[in-house]
């Protein structure tokens, strides 16, 4: 028997952030910790958030979120949470603040260390309903973390691990497209490709979940029709609305599991030698993984071709390469600055990542290394049965 569950409440409209005054008492939050990053603080979004919060001027704020959330940052935010007597969290920003806040919500009510709750280390059943209440406010349109059941956090030893539980889904997702109007073109493109990759990979996942597949296809179609417009016309409200909905739908489909793109981008994002944006990694890797999976996805590739607007005989991987080029995305891992001597270790880590299990074609260390080598050099990967 397959269980299909969508568990959270979503506010979605321009101006949705104003509803926070109602959300807090409904969730029993009297003294929240706001989790953000320094960029949001500089952009004035923290001060804007405070204006709609009861006693906003006194709210505790943590802005030490790194580009890829880390265990040390979770512990620093947790210390502030406890010292200020907080009873819930508000995460505002992209996937990093939201994932970091999930880590704080977990450790605020569960005994550490954090790695005890990692999915690949048997941590899923250890996460209980005691997780502190969390409200998520995305300011990018990509990660879907505002409705996702997972957090990706890099431990102090360098492992980037997934923490997965329905109890980690934020109790409220406040999706206000107005907050994305000032997003720079490069970040709009990178986060938008993250949403597109979520929709593609979850649709291709072999798990049985037709409702999630329908949502993924709707999200993909919205994103394909609007991502270039959102990048070139950043103040276009319709494009921003549609991209935020596509990102939300990508997150709603996480129930099906992801695939090889994320199995590779997770450990790549944990590299200490270079800071790599998750959405950009997904954009670069997606065409190569599509080539790898091509002979193992049945008629689903034809469905994807139809939704992105290309003919049945056209090359799906090349379509996304062309989209990346038009969006100004890098074309190779080398261009992103990935050290070549890390590829073998990344391939090994990918086989252990929780997303690998739901790739439509089982992948070995050798398979992952071949994908990485192709994406490093920009050489198309010829799929084999």
Tell me the pLDDT tens digit for each residue of 327-383.
999 999 999 999 999 999 999 999 999 899 999 999 999 999 999 999 999 999 875
C-alpha span between 149 and 162 (Å, rounded): 10
245 touches 192 (CB < 8 A): no
**Is the alpha carbon torsion for 130, 37, 252, 9 positive or negative?**
positive
Confidence band for 43, pLDDT divided at 50, 70 and 90: confident
Q: Evaluate whether 168 touches 105 at the Cβ level (below 8 Å).
A: yes
Question: Percentages helix, strand, coil for the chain, rounded to the nearest 5?
Answer: 55, 10, 35
Give the whole-angstrom CA distance, residue 152 versus residue 158: 12
Kindly report the pTM of this predicted structure: 0.90
**Top-tier CATH class for 183-377:** mainly alpha
Contact (CB, 8 A) for 358 and 124: no
Rounded average pLDDT over 3-10:
64
CATH number of 9-179: 3.40.50.1970
Q: Kind and range of the H or E element at 347?
A: helix 343-352
- Helices (runs of H) and strands (runs of E) counted in the chain: 15, 8
77 phi, psi to nearest 5 deg: -70, -35
Q: Domain residue spans in the chain? A: 9-179, 183-377
Kindly list the distances between the CA atom of residue 339 and the CA atoms of 69, 154, 171, 275, in Å, as whole numbers in the listed order: 21, 19, 39, 11
- Could you report the per-residue pLDDT of 256-296, keeping only the tens digit for each? 999 999 999 999 988 888 989 999 999 999 999 999 999 88
């Amino acid at each position: 028997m397959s269980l299909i569950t969508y568990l959270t409440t979503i506010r979605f409209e321009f101006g949705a952030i104003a509803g926070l005054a109602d959300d807090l008492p409904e969730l029993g939050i009297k003294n929240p910790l706001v989790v953000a990053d320094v960029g949001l603080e500089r952009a004035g979004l923290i001060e804007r958030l405070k204006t709609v919060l009861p006693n906003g001027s006194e709210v505790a704020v943590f802005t030490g979120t790194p580009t890829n959330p880390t265990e040390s940052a979770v512990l620093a935010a947790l210390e502030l949470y406890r010292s200020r007597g907080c009873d819930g969290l508000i995460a505002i920003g992209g996937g990093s603040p939201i994932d970091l806040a999930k880590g704080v919500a977990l450790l605020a009510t569960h005994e550490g260390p954090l790695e005890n709750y990692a999915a690949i280390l048997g941590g899923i059943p250890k996460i209980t309903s005691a997780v502190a209440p969390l409200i998520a406010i995305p300011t990018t349109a990509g990660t879907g973390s505002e409705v996702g059941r997972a957090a990706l956090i890099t431990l102090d030893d360098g492992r980037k691990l997934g923490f997965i539980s329905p109890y980690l889904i934020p109790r409220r997702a406040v999706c206000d497209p107005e907050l994305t109007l000032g997003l720079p073109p490069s970040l709009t493109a990178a986060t938008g490709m993250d949403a597109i990759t979520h929709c593609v990979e979850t649709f291709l996942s072999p798990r049985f979940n037709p409702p999630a597949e329908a949502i993924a296809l709707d999200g993909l179609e919205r994103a394909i029709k609007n991502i270039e417009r959102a990048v070139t016309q950043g103040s276009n409200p319709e494009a921003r609305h549609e991209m935020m909905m596509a990102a939300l739908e990508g997150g709603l489909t996480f129930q099906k599991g992801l695939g090889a793109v994320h199995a590779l981008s997770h450990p790549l994002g944990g590299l200490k030698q270079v800071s790599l944006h998750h959405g950009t990694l997904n954009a670069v890797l997606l065409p190569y993984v599509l080539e790898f999976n091509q002979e193992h996805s049945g008629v689903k590739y034809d469905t994807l071709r139809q939704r992105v607007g290309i003919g049945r005989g056209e090359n799906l991987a090349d379509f996304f390469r062309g989209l990346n080029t038009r969006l100004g995305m890098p074309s190779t891992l080398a261009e992103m600055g990935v050290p070549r001597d890390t590829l073998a270790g990344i391939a090994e880590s990918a086989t252990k990542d929780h997303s690998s299990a739901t790739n439509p074609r089982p992948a070995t260390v050798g398979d992952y290394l071949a994908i990485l080598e192709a994406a490093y050099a920009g050489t198309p990967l010829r799929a084999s049965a």
